[in-house]
Structure 1
């Protein structure tokens, strides 16, 4: 077993294949599937489908790990029909099985096939899968289908809410989409700093700076600590509005709350103070920047 593990760590397919041939020659069948699974994983990782399939077909102990390794072999080589066949032949599926299938269809953007496989397999109670698919559709801009899965998810966690908010604000250039994101934001039972940041950044990216500032105020009143992405988006909104007073308030909050002056925050503050011709404050923030580039 030591030699097998050494091959795995070194990604040494040639030596691993020799060991496999040696075991077959001497009719060695381990009591547990660990050794064969490790070899199967290596063959799959190296894209050696024929070797992986031959090993799999001759295994006496096949578990979910074995099936998932074979599944990943077909996904890696883009053999979609074989991928679907193996998936359907599996006695049961876990999150890795679904992830492999979803990742393949998402990467190659077969939206209908994602929908088809999940509905046909009947995993309506698998919250992990439905949340993952919601994220795929939201990422690629198919917000209507993302909403279909989101509405049917039995347990909505903060991740699924954030995925939908990101999907709506990413569509941009239409106030309706941003308003839809805000309605979803309002429905979240427990908002964390990521939820607040997603919505604030969404407003800022869609030229709704006033809304970003108002929501930031609500965030602070809700005793939620902003991060550097929240702060930089709010300061950028102040710069676009040339609102010095709001920018100074945010700058003061950054200091009081001991939020790190990262490149993002410091750059946004420099931009604000330069636009408002407050050169001393611009210089002060410029001096705190850990890294300076041509723009700053």
Structure 2
């Protein structure tokens, strides 16, 4: 893979000396706002501000290293101040609001602006609204906006873009309508671009388009590009193409918008055709062009092609930016390519994009899906400015890798940190509750979600059904199912799977018959609950590997091992470990040693470890039951040679509102293992006397 040179980003040069001078006494008077650090970088005069002249003589004794404008991770570092204290002005507060890295310091700055008499300044308030939105405290930003005695167009743009960036599209559009309704200020091109970002239906896009025409802003390139993107999101490809072709001034953003429009609607051939046409017209595709295609391919379930486009980007001599990196990581995670994940992490770190929150969040999620929860945790702990996506990705990573207790503990930290939760967070923590049968915690999360109306979200409801079913409360699961206003395939499959988990085949079939268009997962869940598979032909579903594995399991458990073996031989694809594993389990139940050895050999006899330690242990236990100790020793030796380790058994119990876990051969893990062991010995002695 071709590598671009490191050092993609360099610090911005230049600055405002007057603003810098005002920042120096502000920091001295309020040291708690910014963290103190030692000057790093070796040589050079720490009194110099990059891109400015030497500070005046009266400030020569100040020791500071300023980089202006300062990024969030490098706030001005000031240590000494003597002489006259200068009063900060609105420009000072605006610059500080852009540089502050977290909500706590932002609130301190807000309080300082009020005590300085600038709490009602429009310029300061606009910057603070943007700061609150950046720090994921939209409620504080909205409260400040509503209390402003005077608002200008920038004020409205700040709050509208804050809503749109958080995905609160209805609220963003309501603010636009409120702005228009006041009749004092007219939306400008920035307002309309933000409004179009919030439009999620064809009707709202057309409404905004009509207002743009009436306001004579349709010739503005920013608005035109936003219209192309908005129509593309709604699937109105023809309308997006008309706007593109009617544009007088087509720039790279226009081409990117239309290419992304085609890619988003899975018309990837058209996207690549436009990419070639763009080059033929002398316009060079940039990183944004490729990023849109990568993101769309990843979301369309075509991860290998997404990685292929990234290779094209590198071959074109371009360096992936934060958006391209964050777009390709989900594709790498879907492929479970741990090596690629590490490589992308290393490259992003060297190029300076690793600290970008979007990249960090994508890395946390990718590492979690690839089974490297340690790497995910390292990134999560070291990243600055965590948002709800950061926390949710880490909670999900713990749950996906069986660390359910850690997921619940992190969720508690999330609540303590006052992070605004979203449906993804609730879904992830409910899965963790299901993993440890934490009924009490699951109910608490349910009540918390219900108070905020999140339980009506389809995916939250589906996670609740799964949680209650796995915690042994199938009636509660059915109650949630019946009360859901809207159901999707995940909801129906969760309810069928819940009944199957409890061995209630008739109830599972009842739910299955109520589905209009079952998918592959629906059939797998139904086949797991019963032995009736004739319904597949009715819905014209092509059987997949999972369906065949279920049928082999059904036939085998019912004692029809010859019929199950015949089905395996006639499969239209190569039988997987799941298929042979189903037959192996049935052979152990019905004591068919010969067929069991044959099935086990298909899984582990050809050098594969696709089934993990479970199949090795199953074969070994089956041989032991028949007294074949030599073969048992050979199987264990094979496990050792291949580095396959049997996972330690673990169980959970909830006592006094706390979940306790017990791991086999690791008694020291529990803080009270000594007293527990003594009690166990006492009970054992009592049982012997009975």
Q: Does 2:514 correspond to 1:290?
A: yes
Query: Aligned runs of 1:9-28 on 2, under 5 Å?
Result: none
Give the alignment's TM-score, normalised by structure 1: 0.59
Q: Distance in 1 between matches of 2:345 and 2:258?
A: 29
Does residue 254 of structure 1 match 2:447?
no
What CA distance in whole angstroms lies between the structure 1 residues aligned with 2:449 and 2:332?
41
User: SS at the partner of 2:318?
Assistant: helix
Partner of 1:233: 466
CA displacement 1:120-146 (0-9 Å, x = unmatched)? 111255212211222111111111221
Is residue 183 of structure 1 aligned with residue 412 of structure 2? Answer: no
Deviations 1:12-33 (A, max 9, x none): xxxxxxxxxxxxxxxxxx8543
1:215 to 432, 437, 441: 441
1:33 aligns with 2:251: yes
SS in 2 for 1:222: helix
The answer to whether the Cα contact below 8 Å between 1:138 and 1:164 also exists between their aligned partners in 2 is yes
Match of 2:222 in 1: none
The SS at the match of 1:86 is coil
Q: Distance in 2 between matches of 1:274 and 1:103?
A: 36
Query: Is 1:202 matched up with 2:429?
Result: no
Match of 1:24 in 2: none
Taking a change above 3 Å as real, the CA distance of residues 104 and 198 of structure 1, as seen in their structure-2 partners, is closer
Q: Distance in 2 between matches of 1:103 and 1:251?
A: 31
8 Å CA contact 1:196, 1:219 repeated in 2: yes
For 1:283 and 1:150, the matched residues in 2 are separated by 43
Find the aligned partners of 1:191 and 1:39 in 2 and give their Cα distance.
31
8 Å CA contact 1:40–1:69 kept in 2: the answer is no
Q: CA deviation at 1:200?
A: 2.5
Residues 184 and 33 (structure 1), Cα distance of their counterparts in 2 relative to 1, 3 Å cut: same
1:86 to 291, 300, 317: 317
For the pair 1:157 / 2:387, whether they are aligned, the reply is yes
The verdict on how the C-alpha distance between 1:289 and 1:195 changes in structure 2, with shifts beyond 3 A counting, is: farther
Alignment match of 2:377 (pick from 141, 147, 150): 147
Give 2:289's aligned residue.
Answer: 69
Is there any run of 5+ residues in structure 1 with no aligned partner, and where?
Answer: 11-29, 240-245
- In structure 1, the residue matched to 2:325 is 98
Q: Is the 8 A contact 2:404 2:433 kept in 1?
A: yes
Going from structure 1 to structure 2, the CA distance change for 1:186 and 1:128 (only over 3 Å counts) comes to: same
Which of 353, 362, 366 is 1:136 aligned to?
366
- Equivalent pairs counted in the alignment come to 242
Quick one: structure 1 residues 165 and 251, their matched pair in 2 at CA, closer, same or farther if it must change by over 3 Å?
closer
Measured in 2, the distance between the counterparts of 1:283 and 1:48 equals: 47
Considering Cα pairs closer than 8 Å and 6+ residues apart, tell me whether 1 or 2 has the greater RCO.
Answer: 1
Partner of residue 25, structure 1? none
In the alignment, is the contact (CA less than 8 A) between 2:469 and 2:477 conserved in 1?
A: no
CA shift for structure 1 position 264? 4.2
Measured in 1, the distance between the counterparts of 2:342 and 2:512 equals 51
Q: Which residue of 1 aligns with 2:666?
A: none
Using the size of structure 2 for normalisation, the TM-score is 0.29
Task: Give the drift of 1:186.
Answer: 0.9
Query: What is residue 243 of structure 1 aligned with on the other side?
Result: none
Report the structure number with the largest CA radius of gyration: 2
Q: CA separation of 1:130/1:234 partners in 2, compared to 1, >3 Å: closer, same or farther?
A: closer
CA deviation after TM superposition for structure 1 residue 69, in Å: 3.0
- Which is worse superposed, 218-227 or 70-79? 70-79
- Structure 1 residue matching 2:385: 3-state secondary structure: coil
Deviations 1:69-115 (A, max 9, x none): 36769966467496177333x8xx462x3345545655554123211
On the 8 A contact 2:474/2:499 being kept in 1, the answer is no
Shift of 1:157: 2.2
Residue 168 of structure 1 deviates from its aligned partner by 1.3
| Residue of structure 2 in register with 1:263 after alignment | 492
How far apart in 1 are the matches of 2:424 and 2:330? 24
